Amino acid sequence: MSRRTQPDRVHQVAPAVERLGDGMVNFYLVDHPDGLVLVDAGLPGHLGQLREHLARSGRSLHEIKAVLLTHGHPDHTGLVTAAQQAGADIWIHEADAAILADGPRSAMRHAKPERSMFPYLLRRPASISGPLHLARMGGFSGRPVHGAHTFQGDHHFDEIPGRPQAVALPGHTDGTVAYHFPALGVLFTGDALVTREDMIGHTGPSLVSRGFTHDGAAALSSLDRLAELPPALLLPGHGPAFADGPQAAATQARHMGLH
Ligand SMILES: [Zn+2]
Ligand SMILES: [Zn+2]
């Protein structure tokens, strides 16, 4: 396994937020006094990393109160079953709930990308590492998930530690959202805005390529909504944190445009 895909790297990215995953996929643990919250759930192959990380600080999967999913793609939902079995509530926008209920392979059907990924692979053969990583870490082997809670549009989660707010940013999938934790000053953008795009080899704020995006025009429009959000540290589904806030991130992503 190459260094960039080692699943044993955990970084504290904000006072109460740890980033898990690897060099290609991020998910986050919010350590709030009222309980733990996972934002996104990585790949099935990240279970050992999460268990070991929690055990090192005397915690366990049972202390995760909720899993907030930014969307239904399999690189963001891999540990949902393990967290649910340990007692966590799973939350997803209702427009992506069918992907969860029908299993990872249904993502191509429920949120069909608007372009084939093959031209990207031909143009940049190294981009095959993304899909290969997904497969190697069990991204297509997950089971359907039943009993997830759904919400529509923007939603305030007053019962969840940190009292996060979902912000609907459709485009990457119909049910793509960001989660804002106002008191922590962090905004989890999922794949509505990333800071690393492996299909085109770009680092910095951008949309996800159209080879993995359902509706690029809608994703571009959603950047207008993102730009209006209050200043916060942006924590994306792929790539490093972005400290200059939503407005600057949206401007840079608009400049990159659809790709
Ligand atoms: Zn995605
Ligand atoms: Zn993703």
Q: Cα–Cα distance between 21 and 27 in angstroms, integer?
A: 6
- Per-residue pLDDT tens for 61-72? 999 999 999 999
Q: What is the spatial distance between Cα 20 and Cα 41, in angstroms, rounded to a whole number? A: 9
How would you classify the pairing of strands 11-14 and 17-21? antiparallel
pLDDT in tens, 234-256: 999 999 999 999 999 999 999 99
Q: What is the pLDDT of residues 111-149, one digit of tens each?
A: 999 998 888 998 999 989 988 998 999 998 888 999 999
Distance 80 CA to ligand 1 centre (A): 15
Upper half-sphere CA count for residue 252 (Cβ side, 13 Å): 16
pLDDT of residue 143: 86
Ramachandran bin of 68, using left for φ above 0, alpha for ψ from -120 to 50, beta for the remaining angles: beta
Distance 111 CA to ligand 2 centre (A): 13
Ligand 2 centre to CA of 191 (Å) is 5
Residue 21 CA to ligand 1 centre (angstroms)? 15
CATH fold label, 3-256: Metallo-beta-lactamase; Chain A (3.60.15)
Exposed, middle or buried: residue 39 (CB in 10 Å: 0-12, 13-18, 19+)? buried
Q: Which ligand is nearest to the CA of 107?
A: 1
User: 6 or 155, which is more confident?
Assistant: 155
- Domain range annotation of the chain: 3-256
- For residue 79, the model assigns a pLDDT of 97
